[in-house]
Amino acid sequence: MKTRNTPVAPGGTIGIVGGGQLGRMLALAAARLGLKSCIYNDAPDAPAFQVTPHALVAPYDDLNMLSAFAEVCDAVTFEFENLPAHAIAHLAERVVVRPGAHALAMTQDRLTEKTFVEKLGLKTAPFFEVSSAEQAREAFSKLNGKGILKTRRFGYDGKGQAKVTSAEEAAKAFESFKGAPAILEGFVDFSYEASVVAARSADGGFAAYDPPENEHENHILRRSSVPSRLSAKQVENAKAIAKAIGDALDYAGVFAVELFVGKDGELLVNEIAPRVHNSGHWTIEACQCSQFEQHIRAVAGWPLGDPIRHADAVMENIIGAEADAWQSLAASGALHLYGKTESRPGRKMGHVTRLKPLTKP
C-alpha cells in the first residue's frame, strides 16, 4: 500500500478513471503542475488519450487491470461517479483514491443522496422512493399535481427522467424504466438554476468558486454565467451548503452542488456531483486556479489554489453539429474542443468561454 498522508511529488502519476472531456481537462491541469497522468478508459479512442502517453483500455470492473493501474499511479481519481462499488474498493485497497468510496456511494444513488442532504438540514424538493408502479401512484398523490420520476442511478443529461402529471403517468414512467429503482420528486417552481463548484482537501481545507447561474436546454447545460443574479447573502449561503456537504462526506477533491433558486430566494439542493463539473469550466480562464487544477491539487494532497475570480465570464457548451462552426467560435472567445471525432446530437463537443472585465467581485 502506498503512503496515504504524503503529497504526490512532482513527477508522480495521477490516475484518472474515465477518458472523456473531464478526464482530458484534468490531465491537462495535472501537466501544468509537473504531474503525469494515466488514463483508464473502457474503450479506445477516448479524448483524454490524446494528451498523455500513459493509458489503459479495459472494462471498469476488470480487477487485474485495475490492479495494474493502481500499481503505476500515486493517487487515483474519477471523471464520473458511476464506477461499480467493488471496483472502487479494489482500487482503494491499493492506492489513494480521492474522492473516497463513501462519497461516491452516497452520490451514486439519488435516494441515498437526497436523504443525506435532508439529514444535514438542507432543503430539497420533496422526494419519495419508488420501487413499484403502485408506489409510484401512491407517491404521486402526495405531490401537488406535478413531479419528475428519475431512476435512482446512472442518470445524466436528462436520461432516465420523466415529467409526470398524474398517478397513472407516474406508474407508466416507472414501468418504462424496466424495473430500475426510482425516486419521485416534487416539481419545484424555481426562478433559475445555479451551482456551487467547491474543493475540499483531505485535511479539511475548503475553497468555493463564485456560484454561476446555469441555463439548460433539453436537459443539457447550455450556459453558465458569473456573476449570477444571486445576492451576496445567497452566495454566502450557497458556499455554506457546499461546505456542509463536503465536510459531512469527508470529501477530498472538487465537487458541485446544483441548486434551484426558489421564487422566494430560497436555495434548494438538486444534485451533488462528486467531480469537476460542466458549470465550472469558466474557471479555466477566469480564475488563477481552474476547477481542474484545484481537483488535481486536492487529489495529490497539494495546497488548494485561490478560487478568486478575475473576470466576468459566460461559458457556453458546443453541442453536436454546433462544433462545425469552430472557426467562428474560435474568433469569438476561448474555444475548447474535446477531440471527439464523431459529433452526435446532444453530444458535448466542446465549450467556449468569453471573458469580460470584472463588474462585481
Summarize as ranges the residues that interact with its own copies (CB under 8 A): 7, 9-11, 24, 28, 31-34, 36, 49-53, 55, 285-286, 288-289, 293, 297, 302-303, 305-306, 310-311, 323, 326-327, 330-331, 333-339, 341, 350, 353-355, 357-358, 361
Helices 85-92 + 63-72 axis angle, to 10: 40
- Can you tell me which residue has the cell 468569453? 354
CB of 249 to its own copies, least distance (A): 24
| CA 3 remoteness from chain centre | 27
CB of 71 to its own copies, least distance (A): 19
Q: Between 41 and 353, whose beta carbon lies closer to its own copies?
A: 353
Tell me how far, at minimum, the Cβ of 32 lies from its own copies, in Å. Answer: 5
Question: Do residues 249 and 105 touch, judged by C-beta distance below 8 A?
Answer: no
Residue 186 or 350 having the CB closest to its own copies: 350
**Cα gap 172→161, rounded to integer Å:** 12
For residues 49 and 251, which CB has a smaller minimum distance to its own copies in the complex? 49
Minimum CB distance to its own copies, residue 18 (Å): 17
Taking only Cα atoms into account, the Rg of the chain, rounded to an integer number of angstroms, comes to 20
Q: Under DSSP, is residue 344 helix (H, G, I), strand (E, B) or coil? A: coil
Q: How far is the CB of 83 from its own copies (least distance, A)?
A: 24
Shortest distance, CB of residue 137 to its own copies, whole angstroms? 48
CB of 10 to its own copies, least distance (A): 5
Backbone angle region of 346, left / alpha / beta, with phi > 0 → left and psi within -120 to 50 → alpha: left
Residue carrying C-alpha cell 468555493 = 208
The residue among 150 and 336 lying less far from its own copies, judged by its C-beta, is 336
Cell numbers standing for residue 286: 477566469
- 33 in Cβ contact with 293 (< 8 Å): yes
| Sequence-distant (≥ 6) Cβ neighbours of residue 195 within 8 angstroms | 211, 212, 214, 224, 256, 257, 258, 259, 277, 279, 280
| Residue closer to its own copies (CB basis): 64 or 359 | 359
* Closest CB to its own copies among residues 184, 254: 254
Shortest CA distance to 170 belongs to which of 191, 199, 140? Answer: 140
Residue with Cβ nearer its own copies (187 or 326)? 326
